[in-house]
Amino acid sequence: MKPIPSKFIKSAAEYEQCPPAQKPEFAFVGRSNVGKSSLINMLVGGRDPVANVSSKPGKTRLLNFFEIANRWNLVDLPGYGYAKVSRSAKDVFQAIVSDYILERETLKCVFQLIDSKIPPQQIDLDFSNWLMECGIPFVLVYTKGDKTKKTPLAQNMEQYHLAMSEFADVLPRTFSTSSKKGDGRTELLGFINQIVDAK
């Protein structure tokens, strides 16, 4: 797995602290413990992790900006739906995420991560619905493909798409990934580069 040059830019506790909007940005978000940090590290490659991987969900509480290949920025957003986070903290996280997604002019696409091991979760569907209602470009990225047999994986994906069809006329593009095996890395990077090249 060839590493991609990357560097940390900054963390932001609120939208006003975001770095200047200059390069195309791609935001990664999902339910807590969905495997977001592992996926980000798999995409970038290299020995040193870019995003911190933790056994405790809900650790990402800031907007974390990374410059990738001096061409585009990867934005690691706080996870949603962690029950042990206080209500006031959840409100703050949701405000940060919604402000960024709705206001950031250089945001090209949101990558919504879905745990492929489990059936559709309402909190994921609600977030997908919100993105569609707001007209935000997004794709679905199914994680933990190495931990799920092909039949349950396909069934969970089909169930999620079926649930989405209740509020979506056209379903978003989907990717299936495994951070452990590197599955989906080429496809995701190709998708991002295609958007960057089209600017």
Domain of 78: which CATH number?
Answer: 3.40.50.300
Residue 78: pLDDT band (50, 70, 90) is confident
Q: What percent of the chain has pLDDT over 70?
A: 84
Please state the pTM of the whole predicted model. 0.89
Whether 1 is in a domain gets the answer: no
- Expressed in angstroms, the distance from the first to the final Cα of the chain is 27
* Mean pLDDT of all residues in 134-150: 87
Whether 141 is in a domain gets the answer: yes
Count of domains in the chain? 1
Q: Give every CB contact of residue 95 below 8 A, 6+ residues apart in sequence.
A: 14
pLDDT surpassing 60 at residue 92: no
Residue 161: pLDDT band (50, 70, 90) is very high
Whether 32 is in a domain gets the answer: yes
